[in-house]
Amino acid sequence: MTMTKPFVMGIDIGGTNTVFGIVDARGHVVASDSIKTRKHTNFEDYIKELHEGAERLIKLNDAEGKIQGIGIGAPNANYFTGEILNPPNLPWGKVIPLAETVSKAFGGIPVAITNDANAAALGEMTYGAARGLKDFIMITLGTGVGSGIVVNGQLVYGHDGFAGELGHVIMKRNNGRVCGCGRTGCLEAYCSATGVARTAREFLEIRTEPSLLRNIALEDITSKDVYDAAMAGDMIAKEVFEYTGKILGEAIADMICFSSPQAIVLFGGLAKSGDLLLRPLQESLEANIFPAFKGKTQVILSELKESDAAVLGASALGWEAKYRYEAPTVPVVTENA
Amino acid sequence: MTMTKPFVMGIDIGGTNTVFGIVDARGHVVASDSIKTRKHTNFEDYIKELHEGAERLIKLNDAEGKIQGIGIGAPNANYFTGEILNPPNLPWGKVIPLAETVSKAFGGIPVAITNDANAAALGEMTYGAARGLKDFIMITLGTGVGSGIVVNGQLVYGHDGFAGELGHVIMKRNNGRVCGCGRTGCLEAYCSATGVARTAREFLEIRTEPSLLRNIALEDITSKDVYDAAMAGDMIAKEVFEYTGKILGEAIADMICFSSPQAIVLFGGLAKSGDLLLRPLQESLEANIFPAFKGKTQVILSELKESDAAVLGASALGWEAKYRYEAPTVPVVTENA
């Protein structure tokens, strides 16, 4: 009799740390650990250290032979090919055969990979605020703006595995800010943590009112500084959030025209700004939404603990992982046939 | 032995005409006919005439008992509820129980309904330019701009059945044109046939160059007039198409960020403008597309004959139709129990 194995492993590969954990079917992170992502310039060495750390965790938690699959979230990871393509912050080349190498290192355990925002959406659907929802959009408001789109209960991968780049829809067609992608006016240039800091700098330069933020060197201002100042009642800082929420509300109104989701789930540092961001966002959404969709889509916050979310999201992919490394069969050469 | 029935019926309910036809599995319209949509203010009378016309067609073509399902495309038709909700141009009230009434009239043949742009997308996927594609977006450029989105081989209905309103994403956030939906700056206000005529009027008022279009009263100019003038070499008319194509290219670049489709399929009157529209559209798309998607999505034209397309699109839904009217069971009352 084959029993379904009770655990998956979730691995989140970030630019700085790689966090990995054992997760059970209820979305409890049984145990987790991390290694430095950029310590090894050789990819095989990195996977070796990752595998050793994971095996240690597996042994300590009596999970040997009980890992059903491994799910990995990583920047530019492609669900279809199992590869990371042109990652901006990883030192292992332009095409990294992630699924194959990990499955091989772990003795053939099935592996599935996707990008971090897609993993976050799966985590939210499997264990978090989007449980039971078949149509929702996850927006991650971090250093950048990422997105994972779920339609009819399935993650939208697109024909090439790279769908869901909603951080790069154009919000300002004239005189827009330069974005990291090389274009101008992208949502990400305004509604990411970086975008909030940029807006603050712009406001401080253009305007003359006093502000707590003037105590910080312009180039050192972070979104956290803007948040702290706004919470202390600073007018300019509050208006930075008004501006950010307005643009995000406009963007969400357009997204709803696409897939008419039940919910927009916000995740990441900025999502924790509370009403500073959510009130202007809601007002802008209501002012901009297509009439037939009015009042139908809820904007909600992620319910996953931030420290667990990345591993949980990645792990959610592990339950359905199908790619399994198989050693190539070596042809038997008999000299005297 | 149950044989799959070889035909479906496609019904396209437009504001003026209702066209219905018998379609075979290869997408051949075996026979079709039409009635006036608005002749009857009573919905039951309309369905009665439709049913009589359809039955006549069925008898003439020896298709009795061979209709597997009925697919209907209609404005604001909801796939999930089987109802038409708040239709702008139909005289039968705010909530029209279309699927139920039709299935009842046709003796319980299964019925499925959706809006016209979704039907067009299904038609293209089943019989047209999108055969074999699992991820594409159909954009209908008619009086308005409609869209039908296919993700992973499935039409995107959204949680409420109304997804795919890409004619109403906002393209001009400042000083945008008033749209029929009550908001301003929608794609539809620029890139529909009506939008092209509006652009021509705007250009003629603002500018002083001579133009063939100045021979037509400003309020009478149609997109066809603009097309004819452009084909005759008229500079202002050509620039109207440049402007239209530029905005449509910008919009498509954003759509690709959502679902990374293999193709954008254009349909409708404007789609037949050839390079007048397609060249500026392609240039704008290439200038605006997110780098990771560059060169991956093709813009192609519908392959369905315009006279057949609406019926074919609707009919495509008929093959999978599931809703079937069943007469309510009348409780048997026996007086002496």
pLDDT digits (tens, 9 = 90+) for A113-135: 999 999 999 999 999 999 999 99
Mean pLDDT of A226-255: 98
Interface contact B80, partner A, CB < 8 A = no
Q: Which helix (H) or strand (E) holds A203?
A: helix A193-206
Q: What are the angstrom distances between the C-alpha of A211 and each of A195, A201, A206, A229? A: 19, 11, 13, 8
Q: Is the pLDDT of residue A284 over 80?
A: yes
Q: Is the pLDDT of residue A218 over 50?
A: yes
Taking CA–CA distances from B262, the nearest residue in chain A reads A159
pLDDT of the residue at B4: 72
Mean pLDDT of B116-134: 94
Interface contact B261, partner A, CB < 8 A = yes
Mean pLDDT of A319-328: 87
Q: Chain-wide mean pLDDT for chain B?
A: 94
pLDDT in tens, B21-46: 999 999 999 999 999 999 999 999 99
pLDDT of the residue at A47: 97
- Residue B2: which pLDDT band, with cuts at 50, 70 and 90? low
Q: Is the pLDDT of residue A276 over 70?
A: yes
- Strands of the A111-114 sheet, one edge to the other: A29-36, A17-24, A7-13, A67-73, A111-114
pTM of the model: 0.93
Q: What residues of A are in contact with residue B257 (Cβ under 8 Å)?
A: 164-166, 168-169
A92-99 contacts, C-beta under 8 A, 24 or more apart: A92/A41, A92/A42, A92/A43, A92/A46, A93/A43, A96/A43, A98/A72, A98/A74, A99/A72, A99/A323
pLDDT of the residue at A190: 98
Dihedral of alpha carbons A158, A160, A161, A166, sign:
negative
- Residue A163 has its nearest CB partner, among B157, B170, B259, at B259
Mean pLDDT of A259-271: 96
pLDDT of the residue at B337: 44
- Residue A333: which pLDDT band, with cuts at 50, 70 and 90? low
- How far apart are alpha carbons B5 and B181 in whole angstroms? 41
Taking CA–CA distances from A87, the nearest residue in chain B reads B292
Interface contact B36, partner A, CB < 8 A = no
- Residue B259 has its nearest CB partner, among A158, A250, A293, at A158
CA distance B30 to chain A (A): 34
pLDDT in tens, B60-98: 999 999 999 999 999 999 999 999 998 888 999 999 999
- Kindly determine whether residue B259 and residue A156, on different chains, have CB atoms separated by under 8 Å: yes
- Residue A1: which pLDDT band, with cuts at 50, 70 and 90? very low
Q: Which helix (H) or strand (E) holds A231?
A: helix A223-231
Mean pLDDT of A92-117: 95
- Tell me the count of A-B CB pairs closer than 8 A: 132
- Strands of the A136-141 sheet, one edge to the other: A154-155, A145-151, A136-141, A263-267, A298-301
- Residue A257 has its nearest CB partner, among B134, B152, B169, at B169
pLDDT of the residue at B72: 97
pLDDT in tens, A18-27: 999 999 999 9
Interface contact B330, partner A, CB < 8 A = no
- Residue A335: which pLDDT band, with cuts at 50, 70 and 90? low
pLDDT of the residue at A334: 63
- Kindly determine whether residue B253 and residue A170, on different chains, have CB atoms separated by under 8 Å: yes
Q: Is the pLDDT of residue B153 over 70?
A: yes
Q: Chain-wide mean pLDDT for chain A?
A: 94
pLDDT in tens, B251-275: 999 999 999 999 999 999 999 999 9
Interface contact B117, partner A, CB < 8 A = no
Taking CA–CA distances from B247, the nearest residue in chain A reads A173
